[in-house]
Chains A and B, each alone.
Chain A
């Protein structure tokens, strides 16, 4: 029970820290000191303390978007195990609920963006919808490969079935799935090379441009949900790469945390060493992720 609570409580508390790790890694690559690791906590607190400015064009959808997205992300988080800790909720077939909860959050984020009537936000919404539409089948292929590998249809079950021993027997499958999942992590979280969260040109952004009009508590909610989403994908990806050796509470939790922060560092390294891709190059990269996943599926075999 404690383990299940911890698997949700730790991300709730520490997810923003993973963002801090990304920033720190990028700063070090650029030869800068970098902002404090806890800067994003301060940003969220600052936004939460403010009032709001809401566009006259908008309706309830604009104000509900961030909140619904956070609720959906939290619900999806409850399916994610952390290192040796089992997920809070788990049942056979939950992978489909998991992916669709994230899609539900996205639907309302997009609707909130369109509600402003701004061309910039329409552009971001359009790109987000298209890329996630291409990423989703790839994610399912990767998860199906894991399901066939482990014989389990629940996220927690299929991830806990991976052990250090399964790398000895099924290394190609697991390696391909890990690569595919990491690419999907970058796409779903709007990171380089799919999107650049730090650019100042609205035209080149995807996710950031969708939330241009949100401010105050809504912005805090959006930022927080974003850190949780990164955590979700980081935890899933790294639990393949660093399968937990022990089910003990403390070690399992620490192992999981180490994995998530390692994934965050990997994202930071990726962002430092490569540039954002041209928008037309994004679908082929997603297709490559799908090809990796499909190859893994076939390698699992009969």
Chain B
């Protein structure tokens, strides 16, 4: 606990120091340095809490009604603290390099102030055990990104994105307030420990309402479909180190919230598991399908984050379903798998956003159709992104594979053991996860292939370069951590199991906490790590043999075989939209892709006379949220009738209100 508090203190001190050090270079030194040090301390605090036998706790009185500064770092909190501090540290390093051009032009002091506040808010959120304190931390964490997103506030799309984010964050909080008020009323206290002890009979009539309130409130943050609309707007608009933190850590606060609130709602019903599973599959599949229609790199990565939250909810749904139907073995696998995936996604998505940031930094935009051939100009970034892209698609020996493997095996065990009606859900989960994996391969081969491979499609792509050493160091650290997480997967699992057991124990008191699993998760991961890295070692051996074989032969360099065409040009390369075309055509009804096509006419069509443009809009946003909010706006317009600006009228309103209130009060009194 002292280490954790020191980390928080360093972060708050840095926030104030950054604010005091002005707009320029000084702020860009104090902010990142302090943030990095604070996060480093935090990593040690989280790691030591993860392995401590009793969770460190702190409780201080607070003058706010029903509030108290209650902090407990139990295994679940510690697990979510890790991505917060790891990404906080890496983003601080990367951000310093990323912002160095802007020193003096933008108020970097304020930027780093809000950045530290965001990290601090999230570190408090995942440890808070008093509902009032939790909501305050949650608001700090939710508000700070608004100011970070609007760094480039002169751009219209940035302002729109920041506003969308703010709306989404606040609407989410409204659901959470309702959730905690109902639960606090039932428990008679705002302490989490009391909420977890509410008698099942008291809870039962409220459980469905509470479940959906938590799902809506935390789901907005996690970006589950159909509440994801803010994510693809905010991530591309924010500076890349902020997107990396938001995607790697911030949206995980939503996952944490759902997990924590499920421990209050136990014993859970099977329909909750089925709902979560359906949401997971929907989020995963729709997230990536919509991502395939995107032409901007960071926007695609945002959709990929939505997809990965889909995988997390899919695992959660499988686990809850298995636990609720009395199969603790598969449930433990699914819970451990989803927790593992949370960590894995944080590391890889952080790295990918850094990579995308380097492209943006060097080229000035991230439109795939105008990039290409960057791997020759920025080999480090290209290699990092291709490997991270393979890993996040769940391919061995990447770290994300081992998390997904646990979910798969949980689903497989459930599909074998359950009665047919439940097993159908588990099968759907397994097949859905496979489909998501396949879509992810399309998505990341497309993104990496179009941006880094081939020839530059435009001149601006041709002058790209690798980022400066500090930004590279941030990418190295996340990459090495991801590799370490893959190699140490069986060891990490032992760190993950206490939190998974916590979730399982929260589901039902009737279930044994230690499952009689037919498959030992550690043995499974050890074998899988062995085979996956065996394959990687084999690839290295074969590559060595190949290079020895070619060493004595003639190796010529030549242009790409163009099937006899005389004048190939870079613009003739396959584009990102043509690459995704078979899939977007297959799901055109679902995606609502819009096309505008002016075909070439005549035998010798004039240059520029034919045009083709395609756009994949967000159907949830355009079809539901935009009409909803414009309806709200129209309804609010009607209220303007009462707002005349006439003082006499306002006094009349006051009088009328008083009379009505008096009448009501007298009515009640009699």
Contact = CB atoms under 8 A, between A and B. Distances in A.
B531 A141 contact: no
A132 B409 CA distance: 21
Residue with the greatest number of chain A CB neighbours at <10 A, chosen from B401, B539, B542? B539
Interface in B576-620: 578-583, 586
Q: Summarize A's interface: helix, strand, loop or mixed.
A: helix
Contacts of B450: 114
Interface stretch (B77-85, B224-232, B416-424): B416-424
Interface string A206-235: 000000110011100100000000000000
Contact of A71 (B375, B454, B536): B536
A104 B553 contact: no
B401 A100 contact: yes
Nearest to A131: B582
A140 B426 CA distance: 12
Given A64-B543, A107-B393, A126 B580 contact: yes
Contacts of A56: 557-560
B380 to A, nearest CB: 12
B108 interface: no
Contact of B556 (A51, A63, A100, A212): A51
A153 B519 contact: yes
A107 B394 CA distance: 11
B455 interface: yes
A126 B581 contact: yes
B573 A212 contact: no
A57 interface: yes
A117 B453 contact: yes
Given A61-B375, A100-B395, A147 B412 contact: yes
A164 B663 CA distance: 87
Contacts of B382: 59
A122 B538 contact: no
A133 B582 CA distance: 11
A78 B530 CA distance: 12
B47 interface: no
Nearest to A293: B431
Contact of A132 (B415, B438, B570): B438
Interface string B419-441: 11001100100111011011101
Interface stretch (B21-29, B60-68, B521-529): B521-529
Interface string A139-165: 111001001100101000000000000
Contact of A101 (B535, B555, B581): B535
A115 interface: yes
Residue with the greatest number of chain B CB neighbours at <10 A, chosen from A78, A115, A138? A115
A61 B539 contact: no
A120 B408 CA distance: 35
B469 interface: no
Given A52-B550, A213-B560, A107 B390 contact: yes
Nearest to B582: A130
Given A147-B415, A297-B427, A93 B555 contact: no
Interface residues of A, number: 85
B556 A53 contact: yes
A179 B379 CA distance: 46
Nearest to B534: A75
B396 interface: yes
Interface string B362-398: 0000000000110110010011001000100111100
A45 B373 CA distance: 34
Contact of B578 (A63, A122, A136, A137): A122
B413 A153 contact: yes
Interface residues of B, number: 85
A126 B542 contact: no
Nearest to A79: B531
Residue with the greatest number of chain A CB neighbours at <10 A, chosen from B412, B536, B563, B578? B412
Given A103-B395, A107-B441, A75 B531 contact: yes
B454 A92 contact: no
Interface in A17-51: 48, 50-51
Given A111-B449, A126-B582, A103 B527 contact: no
Contacts of B550: 51-52, 216-217
A250 to B, nearest CB: 28
A221 B408 contact: no
B336 to A, nearest CB: 13
Nearest to B573: A117
Interface in B540-582: 542-543, 546, 549-550, 553-563, 570, 572-574, 578-582
A86 B589 CA distance: 47
B669 to A, nearest CB: 65
A30 B435 CA distance: 39
A139 B420 CA distance: 20
B442 interface: yes
A67 interface: yes
17 contacts: A51-B555, A51-B556, A54-B556, A56-B558, A59-B379, A68-B539, A92-B518, A94-B527, A100-B395, A110-B441, A111-B453, A116-B454, A118-B574, A129-B442, A137-B435, A144-B415, A297-B427
Q: Which 9 pairs from chain A and chain B are nearest by CB?
A: A122-B574, A117-B454, A133-B438, A114-B449, A75-B535, A71-B539, A51-B553, A51-B554, A71-B538
Interface of B: 372-373, 375-376, 379, 382-383, 386, 390, 393-396, 401, 405, 408-409, 412-413, 415-416, 419-420, 423-424, 427, 430-432, 434-435, 437-439, 441-442, 444-446, 448-450, 453-455, 518-519, 523-524, 527-528, 531-532, 534-536, 538-539, 542-543, 546, 549-550, 553-563, 570, 572-574, 578-583, 586
